[in-house]
Amino acid sequence: MVRVGIIGATGYVGGELLRILKIHPSVETIHAFSRKEEGRPVSMIHKNLKNLFDEPFEKYSPNKIADSIDLLFTAVPHGTAMEIVPEILEMGINVIDMSADYRLPPEKFEEWYGIKHKPLSSKFTPVYGLPEIYRKEIKKTKTVAVPGCYATGAILATLPLVRNHAVHPQKIVITAISGTSGAGSRPSEFLHHPEVYNNAKPYSVMSHRHIPEIETVLSDVSKEDVKIGFVPILVPMVRGILTVVNVFPLKEQEGNSFLEMYQDYYSQEPFIRLIIEEEKTVDGSMKRKVGGFPYTANVIGTNFCDISLKNDERTSQTAVISAIDNLVKGAAGQAVQCMNIMLNMKETEGLNKLVGAHPW
């Protein structure tokens, strides 16, 4: 059994961590930390947890948690975790950081985030928390940096092709649409309902901070320099990210070689679902397309990433489409998946019963 704590438990990601950890069979105790909400029942902020998690928020104190927590989740803004995490690690507590503070090499972090980075001691090297690539490293580390939500959807969509050097590494064009929860729970004019409803809003075009994450990881996998173009678009939904990646094959495919790369790489991955479009005979006569493409509604509330691909011989390119819940596979669910790996538990524990609803 494991005892966990969450710093930043009042936010959307913190709430999803609480929801998932509450049903995790190997979690013994959960400490939800909040300076501002200390003493208030958690279910007063996260009303979906009423009668499930009514314990009060606690004030975070390093001395208080030294003997009561085995693992700490830090669901905090960038720049905050690096002030907290070093002390926690020295106390012998594992850390899974949900901020951007340890996702990038220090020099890249400073370039893209504009603040001075405070690196960890060399004995606590952070591991990028994408199990589909770094499972072995996650198993051995004390510190995991959970990937960004856009980065998760984009990397998983592109990974098999880049790994097999099947596409041009510097002609990867990514467009992703996301719901409003990705910006967190703090209100802003940009996220104000009248500004979002019936509207689609590109932002951080070719300058989003998840760009270096995607490029760094794909370059590491392929052992060559990967460059991407990335356009995120805010749309009037709350949860979910649909990512479209346009790639350009380096040579003509033989049969369904691209699909076979995905089937081969992801065949043992518990949270990757390939959505395959096929022509099948119905009632012995009529043929129709079945399978289709990923929809965000099918992954909401789950830790799944749905992926499909479509080749276009006319333009010699391939479109790969992925769908994730930005708050689960893009954040809290992936963090719990990493926790399971770090602590030698079954990787799907606490996550395999998170299924989508239909109709939505």
Active site residues: 149
91 alpha carbon, distance to own chain's centre: 27
Alpha helices, DSSP H, located in the chain = 12-22, 42-45, 62-65, 81-90, 106-113, 131-140, 149-163, 193-196, 211-222, 257-266, 333-342
* Contact (Cβ atoms closer than 8 angstroms) between residue 228 and residue 314: no
CA-to-CA distance for 230 and 285, rounded, in angstroms?
Answer: 44
> How far is the C-alpha of 56 from the C-alpha of 35, rounded, in Å?
12
How far is CA 277 from its chain centroid?
A: 25
Q: Alpha-carbon distance 204 to 178, whole Å?
A: 13
Taking the C-alpha atoms of residue 124 and residue 126, their distance in angstroms, rounded to an integer, is 6
